[in-house]
Amino acid sequence: MNTLVVDLGDRSYPIKIGRQLFTNPALLTEHIHGRQVMLVSNTTVAPLYLDAVAGMLAGFSLQSVILPDGEEYKTLDTLNTIFTALLENRFNRGCTLIALGGGVVGDITGFAAASYQRGVAFVQIPTTLLAQVDSSVGGKTGVNHPLGKNMIGAFHQPNCVLIDTNTLDTLDDRQLAAGLAEVIKYGLIKDSGFFTWLEQNMTALRTRDKQALAYAIERSCALKAAIVAADERESGQRALLNLGHTFGHAIETGTGYGNWLHGEAVAAGMLMAAELSARHGWLSTDAVRRTEKLLRQAGLPTSPPAEMTADRFMDLMAVDKKVVDGGLRLVLLKDIGHALVTSDFRQDLLAATLAGAT
């Protein structure tokens, strides 16, 4: 097992990465506050892993709540079912919530922990590649609103992130590819050496080579941990993690939550960001070509669906959180491994990118 640390002073926490971690209860129990534990999972993940995780919690007063599965259930209504379970079981402020599942379960459970009795402890046990490399680390929690994705939420850091890479064995290929989009993102924004490693190892990753996956997860978590430690509340460089997300969120909202996977939408969005960067002359056409090739090799889409017209994009992007004082801010690329956040891009080139993408 390898342990990384998200360094946030007295709120620092470990990310433990390894295989068969569920056979070692102490890895989890040392991060549980109090005796009351609410295990939150969903209808797909619970039959696979709930018993194993519950088995680590002998001696605790354990309850569970099983949510319906899907991005379309990442809502205030679903969040309320967690509050109801907590209140029915008389959970107090000293309790701990555990999120067992992908990014949807992690984001909802984290928000429940952020807001139940003004904040209780929680632990992330991510079971998708996307959640293991991205959403479980960094403390962004929340739910969707019909008018915009992740529009209601809070920052609330977990006490621990426990990543058992064996859980990926049951994940289907499409979901694995969606996670690879966020992995590729780290190379694009921060680490050209990692990008090159990904170009050399994409086949190994897609065929689930354990060592390659472990390395990709560790490198991704290390990059995210460093960014979060430097800028927890996204006043600066954390915004780079949104590469492709302004376009991607528009695709997710525009096509109806759950039809395009988050990682798929981000993949198409990252290529749009690369193309817009190239239109400004900031990024070489060779770098755009390499990005497109790597996304394709990962099994990801490289353009949005035809229904996403330029007008539809503009409408949806206007509610994006990256809009500051009415001005849209985008993450663009200067090179592979070098991103910037800017509102200083040309509207005509944005329009051309939106029109040309479909």
Ligand X SMILES: NC(=O)c1ccc[n+]([C@@H]2O[C@H](COP(=O)([O-])OP(=O)(O)OC[C@H]3O[C@@H](n4cnc5c(N)ncnc54)[C@H](O)[C@@H]3O)[C@@H](O)[C@H]2O)c1
- Sorted by sequence, the CB contacts under 8 Å of residue 260 that are 6+ apart come out as 251, 252, 301, 305
The residue count for binding ligand X (CB under 6 A) is 29
Question: Contact with ligand X (CB under 6 A): which of 31, 96, 102, 217?
Answer: 102
Cα atoms in the 13 Å half-sphere on the side-chain side of 351? 4
Please tell me whether residue 103 binds ligand X under the rule CB under 6 A: yes
Binding part of the chain for ligand X, among 130-138, 230-238, 278-286, 306-314 by CB under 6 A, reads 130-138
Q: Which of 156, 185, 262, 279 is catalytic?
A: 262
- State the residue for tokens 């915009």: 148
Active site residue 249: yes
Report, in Å, the least distance between residue 137 CB and ligand X: 7
Q: Is the Cβ of residue 175 or residue 277 nearer to ligand X in the bound state?
A: 175
Please tell me whether residue 78 binds ligand X under the rule CB under 6 A: no
Question: Contact with ligand X (CB under 6 A): which of 29, 44, 237, 259?
Answer: 44
Residues in a beta bridge with 97: 38, 122
| Cα 288 to the center of its chain, rounded Å | 23
Active site residue 145: no
Please tell me whether residue 130 binds ligand X under the rule CB under 6 A: yes
Q: Which of 16, 74, 190, 238 is catalytic?
A: 238
Q: Which of 74, 149, 249, 322 is catalytic?
A: 249
Binding part of the chain for ligand X, among 4-12, 57-65, 168-176, 194-202 by CB under 6 A, reads 168-176
Please tell me whether residue 283 binds ligand X under the rule CB under 6 A: no
Please tell me whether residue 238 binds ligand X under the rule CB under 6 A: no
Question: Contact with ligand X (CB under 6 A): which of 36, 42, 242, 277?
Answer: 42
Please tell me whether residue 159 binds ligand X under the rule CB under 6 A: no
Please tell me whether residue 264 binds ligand X under the rule CB under 6 A: no
Report, in Å, the least distance between residue 77 CB and ligand X: 15
Judged by CB under 6 A, the chain residues 11 through 40 that form the site for ligand X are none
Three-state DSSP string of the chain: CEEEEECCHHHCEEEEEECCHHHCCHHHHCCCCCCEEEEEEECCHHHHHHHHHHHHHCCCEEEEEEECCCHHHCCHHHHHHHHHHHHHCCCCCCCEEEEEECHHHHHHHHHHHHHHHHCCEEEEEECCHHHHHHHCCCCEEEEEECCEEEEEEEECCCCEEEEEHHHHHHCCHHHHHHHHHHHHHHHHHHCHHHHHHHHHHHHHHHCCCHHHHHHHHHHHHHHHHHHHHHCCCCCCHHHHHHCCHHHHHHHHHHHCECCECHHHHHHHHHHHHHHHHHHCCCCCHHHHHHHHHHHHHCCCCCCCCCCCCHHHHHHHHCCCCCEECCEECEEEEEECCEEEEECCCCHHHHHHHHHHCC
Which is it for strands 338-342 and 2-6: parallel, antiparallel or unpaired? unpaired
Please tell me whether residue 128 binds ligand X under the rule CB under 6 A: yes
Please tell me whether residue 269 binds ligand X under the rule CB under 6 A: no
Report, in Å, the least distance between residue 261 CB and ligand X: 6
Q: Which of 150, 156, 219, 234 is catalytic?
A: 234
Please tell me whether residue 167 binds ligand X under the rule CB under 6 A: yes
Please tell me whether residue 132 binds ligand X under the rule CB under 6 A: no
With beta carbons less than 8 A apart as the criterion, state whether 216 and 133 touch.
yes
Active site residue 182: yes
Report, in Å, the least distance between residue 249 CB and ligand X: 8
Active site residue 156: no
Q: What track of x and - describes contact with ligand X for positions 209 through 228 (by CB under 6 A)?
A: --------------------
Catalytic residues: 118, 140, 182, 224, 234, 238, 242, 245, 249, 262
Binding site for ligand X (CB under 6 A): 42, 44-45, 48, 69, 71, 74, 101-105, 107, 127-128, 130-131, 134-135, 138, 140, 150, 167, 170-171, 175, 178, 262-263
